[in-house]
Chain A
Amino acid sequence: MMENIEALFNSELVVVNIGLERFAESMKLQHVPCVHVEWKPPAGGDTRLIEILEKLSN
Chain B
Amino acid sequence: MNKIDKANMEALDRINSAEPELVDIKYAYEVLPGMDKSVIGHAGPPIEWENMCGPLKGAVLGAILYEGLAGDLAEAEKLVLNGKIRFVSNHSMGAVGPMTGMITYSMPLYEVRNKTYGNTAYTTFNEGLGKVLRFGSNGPEVLERLKWFEHVLAPALKKAIALSGPISLKVIISKALAMGDEMHQRNIAASLLFAREIMPYLVEAVDDKAELRKIIEFITGNEQLFLNLAMAAGKCTMDPVKNIEHCSIVTAMSRNGTNFGIQVSALGDTWFEAPVLMPKGLYFAGFSEKDANPDIGDSAICETFGIGGVAMGSSPAVVRFVGAKSVQEALDYSREMEEISVGKSTNYIIPNMEFQGTATGIDIRKVVETGIAPVINTGLAHKLPGVGQIGAGIVRAPIDCFVKALYAFAEYEQSLE
Binding site for B on A (CB under 8 A): 40, 42-44, 49, 52-53, 55-58
Partner of A43 from the list B4, B368, B413 (CB cut-off 8 Å) is B368
Query: Does B415 belong to the interface (CB within 8 Å)?
Result: no
Identify the closest chain A residue to B248 (Cβ).
A56
Q: Is the interface of B mostly helix, strand, loop or mixed?
A: helix
* Interface core residue of A40, A42, A52, A57 (most chain B CB under 10 Å): A52
Provide a sorted-by-A list of 16 A–B residue pairs whose CB atoms are within 8 angstroms.
Answer: A40-B370, A42-B370, A43-B368, A49-B403, A52-B407, A52-B410, A53-B365, A53-B406, A55-B413, A56-B248, A56-B409, A56-B410, A56-B413, A57-B2, A57-B4, A58-B2
A43-B368, A56-B4, A56-B410 are known; give 9 further A-B pairs, CB within 8 A.
A40-B371, A42-B369, A42-B370, A43-B371, A52-B407, A53-B365, A55-B410, A56-B365, A56-B413
Number of interface residues of B (CB under 8 A): 14
The interface residues of chain A lying within 8 Å CB-to-CB of B409 are 56
Per-residue CB proximity of B398-413 to A under 8 Å, as 1/0?
A: 0000010011011001
Identify the closest chain B residue to A48 (Cβ).
B407
Bound-state Cα–Cα, A43 to B365, Å? 9
With both chains docked as a complex, state the minimum distance between the C-beta of B46 and any C-beta of chain A, in angstroms. 27
Binding site for A on B (CB under 8 A): 2, 4, 248, 365, 368-371, 403, 406-407, 409-410, 413
Q: Is the interface of A mostly helix, strand, loop or mixed?
A: helix
- Closest 9 CB pairs between A and B? A52-B410, A42-B369, A43-B368, A53-B369, A44-B371, A43-B369, A56-B365, A49-B368, A40-B371
Q: A52 and B406: CB pair below 8 A? A: yes
Bound-state Cα–Cα, A23 to B368, Å? 26
Bound-state Cα–Cα, A15 to B365, Å? 32
Bound-state Cα–Cα, A58 to B413, Å? 12
Bound-state Cα–Cα, A25 to B370, Å? 23
The interface residues of chain B lying within 8 Å CB-to-CB of A58 are 2
Identify the closest chain B residue to A41 (Cβ).
B371
The interface residues of chain A lying within 8 Å CB-to-CB of B370 are 40, 42
